[in-house]
Copies of this chain bind each other. A is one copy, B any other.
Amino acid sequence: MGLNATTGTILGFLLSGPKTAWDIDQRIGVSVGHFWNVTRSQVYRELPQLAGEGLVRVQSGSGKGERRTYALTAQGRMAFRRWLDEGPPAETRRIPILLVTFFGAELEPRRLTEILDQMRAEVTAELDGYEELAPLLADRPFEGATLEFGRRYATLVRDWIDEVARPLAGGGTEN
Contacts and interface: CB of A to CB of B under 8 A. Distances in A.
Interface of A: 5, 8-9, 12, 15, 31-32, 34-37, 80-81, 84-85, 87-107, 111, 115, 118-119, 141-143, 145-146, 148-149, 152-153, 156, 159-160, 164-165, 168
- Name which of A9, A81, A94, A119 has the most chain B CB atoms within 10 A of its CB: A94
| Copies of this chain in its oligomeric complex | 2
A106 B118 CA distance: 39
Given A36-B93, A145-B168, A31 B99 contact: no
B164 A145 contact: yes
B102 A88 contact: no
Q: Is the interface of A mostly helix, strand, loop or mixed?
A: helix
A87 B37 contact: no
Given A142-B168, A156-B153, A84 B103 contact: yes
A148 B160 contact: yes
A100 B115 contact: no
A71 to B, nearest CB: 17
Given A92-B37, A96-B88, A156-B152, A104 B32 contact: no
Nearest to A34: B93
Given A87-B118, A115-B87, A146 B36 contact: no
B35 A98 contact: yes
A102 B152 contact: no
A84 B106 contact: yes
14 contacts: A5-B99, A12-B102, A32-B102, A34-B93, A35-B94, A37-B92, A84-B100, A84-B103, A92-B94, A98-B146, A101-B149, A103-B142, A104-B145, A141-B168
